[in-house]
């Protein structure tokens, strides 16, 4: 890669498809788990737009095991979104294993363990990124989950490390792989960086070199060129895209095309972006009801970001209480757009 502006067209992989355990994936692009965003509606749209695998947000293993009603909604899977990975957080191997059984029964194709969440509420309980300080416990968690749900693959998603003094992704990856993890996603940032700032590709390359299971590179990918650079510099088997796919699921298809040597599809028109916003809203309201409208506002803003007049439309939407009003506004906006 020279700069980030040109994209090679030669396929980076001999085969477009690959596997995590017994699960076949048609391409090497993964939608990252994102709390409050990657529900079953967005995951379905992301699959349709070209992701080979979609991931659900972190779910409390303890709450699942206690049959918490609010938590069980995170287990909803749309038949059109498979293959789908659902993620658990927790640090008690037995609780994680019991929760994994529930996630498997709900139809998840893959079950992931969260080793990256930086939020105080989560790390305060020794979960999420705090687990990276204890590779031995990571191994015991993965082992218990694998025993409980095999042949459903168990994977882990980790960070570069807890902080610069504890940059131990390789050690944690080796513990997870030895315990039976079927793939390892590495987000090349530390806990304090949350989801912003420089991403270290070197640590992803080091994990790739240290384990024999597939490694998924994550962090800072916002274009096909970024994805190519991630694969070239780390040797990762697949790329995971988070924030840049919000409001732009087409990016996932563009990256899938580039990684398999196909021409990049043209970007969506402004009208197509508004159409997607409407479809997303309709599907979300059909599933969650009118009361869920506020949760959709951020998605709608992401879809129209950068289109002329978007700020005004966003403000109007923020004052609306009913989805039919919002859809009418978006239709008018769409009709007025020049393309």
Ligand X SMILES: Cc1cc2nc3c(=O)[nH]c(=O)nc-3n(C[C@H](O)[C@H](O)[C@H](O)COP(=O)(O)O)c2cc1C
- The site for ligand X (CB under 6 A) is made up of 32-37, 57-58, 87, 114, 116-117, 157, 187, 195, 218-221, 241-244
Residue closer to ligand X by CB (options 86, 257) is 86
| Min separation Cβ 22 and ligand X, Å | 23
| Min separation Cβ 309 and ligand X, Å | 26
Residue closer to ligand X by CB (options 117, 274) is 117
Element at 174 (helix H, strand E): helix 169-178
Instruction: Read off the tokens for 34.
Output: 């994102």
CA–CA gap between residue 8 and residue 13 (Å, rounded):
12
Q: Determine the distance from the C-alpha atom of residue 100 to the mean position of all C-alpha atoms in its chain, rounded to a whole number.
A: 18
Element at 325 (helix H, strand E): helix 323-336
Got the DSSP string for 207-269?
A: HHHH-SS-EEEES---SHHHHHHHHHHH--SEEEE-GGGTT-THHHHHHHHHHTTPPPPPPPP
Catalytic-role residue among 55, 117, 129, 236: 117
| Min separation Cβ 154 and ligand X, Å | 14
| Min separation Cβ 336 and ligand X, Å | 31
| Min separation Cβ 158 and ligand X, Å | 9
Residue closer to ligand X by CB (options 93, 116) is 116
Q: Locate the DSSP E strands across the chain.
A: 18-20, 23-25, 29-31, 53-60, 84-89, 110-115, 154-161, 184-190, 215-218, 238-241
Residue closer to ligand X by CB (options 33, 52) is 33
Instruction: Read off the tokens for 335.
Output: 């009709």
Residue closer to ligand X by CB (options 231, 274) is 231
Omega prior to 83 cis, within 30 of 0: yes
Please name the residues in contact with 103: beta carbons below 8 A apart, sequence gap of 6 or more: 59, 64, 75, 86, 88, 111, 149
Whether 55 sits among the annotated catalytic residues: the reply is: no
Residue closer to ligand X by CB (options 58, 61) is 58
Please classify residue 297 by burial: count the beta carbons closer than 10 Å to its beta carbon, then call 0-12 exposed, 13-18 middle and 19+ buried. Answer: middle
Q: Which residue is nearest to ligand X (CB)?
A: 242
Torsion-angle region of 126 (φ positive above 0: left; ψ -120 to 50: alpha; else: beta)? left
Residue closer to ligand X by CB (options 110, 241) is 241
| Min separation Cβ 24 and ligand X, Å | 23
CA–CA gap between residue 166 and residue 304 (Å, rounded):
40
Give the residue among 32, 174, 186, 54 at the shortest CA–CA distance from 116.
186
| Min separation Cβ 317 and ligand X, Å | 20
Q: Count CA within 13 A, CB hemisphere, residue 11.
A: 10
Which residues are known catalytic residues?
117
């Amino acid at each position: 890669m020279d700069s980030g502006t040109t994209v090679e067209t030669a396929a980076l992989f001999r085969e477009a498809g690959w596997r995590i355990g017994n699960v076949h994936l048609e391409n090497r692009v993964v939608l990252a788990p994102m709390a409050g965003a990657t529900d079953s509606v967005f995951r379905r749209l992301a699959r349709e737009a070209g992701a080979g695998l979609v991931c659900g947000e972190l779910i409390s293993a303890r709450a699942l095991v206690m049959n918490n009603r609010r938590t069980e909604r995170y287990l909803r899977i749309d038949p059109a979104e498979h293959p789908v990975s659902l993620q658990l957080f927790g640090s008690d191997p037995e609780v994680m294993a019991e929760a994994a059984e529930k996630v498997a029964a709900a139809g998840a194709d893959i079950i992931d363990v969260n080793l990256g969440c930086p939020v105080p509420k989560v790390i305060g309980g020794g979960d999420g990124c705090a687990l990276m300080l204890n590779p031995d416990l990571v191994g015991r968690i993965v082992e218990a989950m694998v025993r409980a749900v095999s042949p459903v693959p168990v994977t882990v998603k980790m960070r570069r490390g807890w902080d610069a003094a504890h940059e131990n992704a390789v050690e944690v990856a080796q513990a997870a792989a030895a315990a039976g993890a079927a793939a390892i996603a590495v987000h090349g940032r530390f806990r304090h960086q949350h989801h912003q700032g420089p991403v270290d590709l070197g640590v992803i390359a080091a994990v790739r070199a240290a384990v024999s299971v597939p490694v998924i590179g994550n962090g800072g990918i916002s274009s096909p060129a970024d994805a190519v650079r991630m694969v070239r510099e780390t040797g990762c088997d697949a790329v995971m895209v988070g924030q840049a796919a919000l409001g732009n699921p087409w990016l996932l298809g563009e990256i899938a095309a580039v990684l398999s040597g196909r021409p990049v599809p043209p970007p969506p028109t402004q009208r197509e972006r508004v159409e997607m916003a409407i479809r997303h809203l309709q599907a979300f309201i059909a599933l969650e009801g009118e009361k869920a409208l506020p949760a959709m506002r951020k998605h709608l803003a992401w879809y129209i970001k950068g289109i002329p007049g978007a700020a005004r439309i966003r403000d109007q939407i923020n004052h609306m209480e009913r989805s039919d009003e919002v859809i009418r506004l978006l239709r008018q906006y769409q009709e007025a757009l020049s393309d």
